[in-house]
Amino acid sequence: MQSKAIFRIFARYNSSFMKKQLLITGATSGIGRATALRMAREGYAVTATGRRADRLETLAQEIAAAGGECTTLVFDVRDAEQVRRFLEPIERIDILVNNAGLAAGLEHIDRGDPHDWDAMIDTNVKGLLYVTRIVAAKMVAAGGGHIFNIGSIAGTEPYENGAVYCASKHAVHALSQAMRADLLADGIKVTEIRPGMVETEFSQVRFHGDRERAAKVYQGVEPLRGEDIAEAIAWAAQLPAHMNVNDMVLMPAQQAGAYYTHRNR
């Protein structure tokens, strides 16, 4: 009787450990939340991170109710010490999705708010670096892994009023290419996903909570949804070992780039 119980505990522990481990930042909303749900459905043991604990708790319950596995970690990617404290103890990470990010403000450079600039650079660039530093070292030691960086079309198309956000995503684009080279001999794939317009909390955050202004961004357009980006990540993650997607640009059919959107009247 006792040995059966021990066997069951061992089997559960073993099957959990055998699952591929995925860590995603910014899983409380939008692309991150959709990707966590999707990848849990694909059979990954998901570690979902973000600052809003209640949102992560709801996500973990949703994943568990669907038979998946989700651990949550509440920390701010801008704080290098928190990142180290929460991520260092994790034994294995097969896939990292660097998703946490934001745009703050939409202004000409002479009117931009330096607090917004700090938030974007500290999150989109430095936060991504802090997380990657710790996780990539684990992947190198393990002899493989796959890193997804969520860039943007803003990473190659600078636009009026978006100087600092565009600069931060240009940095993500450069980092993705350079880290791919750095990690090449270690068997670590690096995939950059660069979406156009995706309807999430992104525009609400950009306009500091102004929902009406945020809604106008998507007027007359069928934007992408977080689930569409999750679909792309799920596809790229399951490719054979010899094949990698370096850079994937995804847009709504009604968008041709940062400057061209066809809106229904």
Binding mask 132-171 for ligand 8X3 (x = CB under 6 A): --------------------xxx-------x---------
The distance of closest approach from Cβ of residue 259 to ligand 8X3 in the complex, given in angstroms and rounded to an integer, is 10
50: Cβ contacts below 8 Å, ≥ 6 apart: 25, 26, 27, 28, 29, 32, 56, 74, 100
The distance of closest approach from Cβ of residue 206 to ligand 8X3 in the complex, given in angstroms and rounded to an integer, is 7
Q: Which of 119, 206, 124, 203 is CA-nearest to residue 170?
A: 124
- Alpha carbons within 13 angstroms on the beta-carbon side of residue 16 total 14
Q: Which residue in the list 130, 165, 218, 259 is annotated as catalytic?
A: 165
The distance of closest approach from Cβ of residue 209 to ligand 8X3 in the complex, given in angstroms and rounded to an integer, is 17
In the complex, which residues of this chain contact ligand NDP (CB under 6 A)?
A: 25-32, 50-52, 55, 76-78, 99-102, 123, 127, 150, 152, 195, 197-198, 200-202, 205, 226
Q: Which of 177, 214, 206 is CA-nearest to residue 194?
A: 177
Residues paired with residue 48 on neighbouring β-strands, in sequence order: 24, 72
| 197 vs 233 by CB, closer to ligand NDP | 197
| 68 vs 226 by CB, closer to ligand NDP | 226
* Binding positions for ligand 8X3, 244-263, rule CB under 6 A: 258
Q: Nearest 10 degrees: CA dihedral of 75, 116, 190, 84?
A: -30
14: Cβ contacts below 8 Å, ≥ 6 apart: none
| 200 vs 261 by CB, closer to ligand NDP | 200
Tokens of 158: 């600078």
Q: Which listed option, ligand 8X3, ligand NDP, none, makes contact with residue 101 (CB within 5 to 8 Å by class)?
A: ligand NDP
Cβ(157)–Cβ(110) below 8 Å? no
| 138 vs 206 by CB, closer to ligand 8X3 | 206
User: Is 165 among the catalytic positions?
Assistant: yes
The distance of closest approach from Cβ of residue 202 to ligand 8X3 in the complex, given in angstroms and rounded to an integer, is 6
Which whole-number Å values give the CA distances from 177 to 138, 151, 169, 239, 262, in the listed order?
20, 12, 13, 19, 31
Active site residues: 165
